Amino acid sequence: VDEDDNTLDIRSQPLTVSASQKKQLTVKLPRSTVLHELNIDAVSADVSVDLTEEDTLTLTELDVSSVSGTVSVHAANAGEISLETTSGAITGSVRTDKLEADSVSGSIDLALETQPKELEAETTSGDITLTLARQPEAVAIDFHTVSGQLRSDVTNSPDAPAVWKLETVSGNADIFLMQ
């Protein structure tokens, strides 16, 4: 723990643990913790952030990335959320005003518990699926693809203040309302 800047760094020592051994790291924070940022970076590992029971945790920014692994978030609640993986899927549920999700070779499948004002989702070879809890206010959907298509239960309102940018190379983008 670096007390000067209130940072907790946890690093695995790969030379002390066999590569074939399964490793799991669990970090629990006291209830009512106020964090400005939570940054999680992993290499060759899946990352799961479950904030389901942490309704009192206050986050301004959540940033989760894995070079080779799945990124999974549950009940993630922050002003800004950034999820990134090079080879793996991005899944889970989020509540945020600003969402960025990027996967080079994997799908993005997120439940949006609230309507983000800004959303960027990009994948090279994978689909993007967004499931909304309820009909959103006006949203401008900016979709780009080489060989995919957009299917949406949400009406595209090009002049809306909320802008959702979706980009795939060889994947579809689906925006559904929760049934």
Question: Three-state SS across the chain?
Answer: CECCCCECCCCCCCCCCCCCCCCCCCCCCCCCCEEEEEEEEECCCCEEEECCCCCCCEEEEEEEEECCCCEEEEEEECCEEEEEECCCCEEEEEECCEEEEEECCCCEEEEECCCCCEEEEEECCCCEEEEECCCCCCEEEEEECCCCCEEECCCECCCCCEEEEEEECCCCEEEEECC
Report the share of the chain in percent with pLDDT over 90. 55
Question: Please, which contacts does 151-159 make with residues 24 or more away whose CB atoms are closer than 8 Å?
Answer: 151/175, 153/177
Residue 165 scores a pLDDT above 70: yes
Q: Could you tell me which of 103, 113, 117 has the C-alpha nearest to residue 173?
A: 103
Residue 14, pLDDT score: 57
Residue 115 scores a pLDDT above 70: yes
Residues with Cβ < 8 Å from 132, sequence gap 6 or more? 111, 112, 115, 153, 154, 175, 176, 177, 178
How many whole angstroms separate alpha carbon 44 and alpha carbon 20?
A: 12
Residue 4 scores a pLDDT above 60: no
Are the CB atoms for 106 and 87 separated by under 8 Å?
Answer: yes
User: For the segment 71-82, what is each residue's pLDDT rounded down to a tens digit?
Assistant: 999 878 889 999
Going by pLDDT thresholds of 50, 70 and 90, the confidence category of residue 21 is: low
Residue 56 scores a pLDDT above 80: no
Residue 173, pLDDT score: 97
Residue 19, pLDDT score: 57
Residue 130 scores a pLDDT above 60: yes
Residue 18 scores a pLDDT above 70: no
Residue 54 scores a pLDDT above 70: no
Least confident of 2-6, 57-61, 138-142: 2-6
Length of the chain: 179
| Average pLDDT of the residues in 48-62 | 77
Q: Could you tell me which of 39, 31, 95 has the C-alpha nearest to residue 62?
A: 39
Residue 1, pLDDT score: 45
Residue 67 scores a pLDDT above 50: yes
Going by pLDDT thresholds of 50, 70 and 90, the confidence category of residue 27 is: confident
